[in-house]
Chains A and B, each alone.
Chain A
Amino acid sequence: GQQVQQSPASLVLQEGENAELQCNFSTSLNSMQWFYQRPGGSLVSLFYNPSGTKHSGRLTSTTVIKERRSSLHISSSQTTDSGTYLCALEPGYQNFYFGKGTSLTVIP
């Protein structure tokens, strides 16, 4: 079955608004990773986050292992943030399973 559930499936924001993306897991996790997939297709790693909270610029990732969830917060969104955000679960060691992604559109 689907081990990784992402929500929402799509999101439209006005530039400057904040976004909260969710990732829920049906199995225990060793770690998880957030990616941004550009409209052209390549993936950029945003966070490798086994637990707790990590910050990078306007992005914040929080993973709560015992609740089997992770979130990605984008503050003050910009049009260049548009694209697909993927989370990947690492249930064991070094095997990763992806969610279906959240498609984000930021309009000016």
Chain B
Amino acid sequence: GPKVLQIPSHQIIDMGQMVTLNCDPVSNHLYFYWYKQILGQQMEFLVNFYNGKVMEKSKLFKDQFSVERPDGSYFTLKIQPTALEDSAVYFCASSLNEQYFGPGTRLTVL
């Protein structure tokens, strides 16, 4: 089936640093998403993105978070500065209707 790629698979950084998570969505998809999942817990919606704009964001999408997809390249989630509670697996997804998920990036903030 359609594949969503995420780079990197793991990232370890010090608290306060900036991190950018990259997502390569399915080529003809129009909607893009980021989700956060802490180990053993629920998948939490962060944000969705369409036509170059954020459509909806949750309370978890703090001011330190930003997303963009410049000129059809990677869909990115940037966290600046990072905090300890940002440690989680971040999943990217894309859709026309049905969502397809990437394998996730495991972010560890020390």
Please list the residues of chain A having a beta carbon within 8 angstroms of any beta carbon in chain B: 31, 33, 35, 41-45, 48, 86, 88, 94-101
Closest Cβ–Cβ distance, residue B60 to chain A (whole Å): 12
Residue of A nearest to B41 (CB): A100
Given the interface contacts A41-B89, A42-B104, does A98 sit within 8 Å of B99 by beta carbon?
no
Given contacts A95-B56, A100-B42, 4 further A-B pairs with CB under 8 A are: A41-B89, A42-B102, A42-B103, A43-B91
Residues of A within 8 A of B89 (CB): 41
Q: Verify A41–B99 contact, CB threshold 8 A.
A: no
Q: Which residues of chain B from 75 to 110 have any CB-CB distance to chain A below 8 Å in the complex?
A: 89, 91, 95, 97-104
B47-58 interface code vs A (CB 8 A; 1 in, 0 out)? 010100001100
Query: Of the candidates B43, B45, B98, B104, which one forms a contact with A95 in the assembled complex, judged by CB atoms under 8 Å apart?
Result: B45
With the chains together, A37 CA to B57 CA distance in Å? 23
Query: Which residues of the partner chain A approach B97 to less than 8 Å between Cβ atoms?
Result: 31, 48, 94
For chain B, the count of residues having a C-beta within 8 Å of the partner chain is 24
Residue pair B55, A95 in contact (C-beta under 8 Å): yes
Partner of A94, one of B55, B100, B101, B104: B55
Q: Looking at the assembled complex, report how far the CB atom of B61 sits from the nearest CB atom of chain A, in whole angstroms.
A: 13
Q: A98 to B58, alpha carbons, bound, how many Å? A: 13
- Bound-state CA distance A96–B37 (Å) is 14
User: 21 interchain pairs (CB within 8 A)?
Assistant: A33-B98, A41-B89, A41-B103, A41-B104, A42-B101, A42-B104, A43-B43, A45-B99, A48-B97, A48-B98, A48-B99, A86-B43, A94-B31, A94-B95, A95-B45, A96-B45, A96-B99, A97-B45, A98-B43, A101-B42, A101-B43
Q: How far is the CA of A58 from the CA of B26 in the complex (A)?
A: 27
Are A98 and B33 in contact (CB-based, < 8 A)? no
Contact of A45 (CB < 8 Å), options: B33, B43, B50, B100: B100
> Which residues from chain B contact A94 at a C-beta distance below 8 Å?
31, 48, 50, 55, 95, 97
Q: How far is the CA of A101 from the CA of B43 in the complex (A)?
A: 9
A86 to B56: give the CA distance in the assembly, Å: 21
The distance in angstroms between the C-alpha atoms of A79 and B98, with both chains bound, is: 27
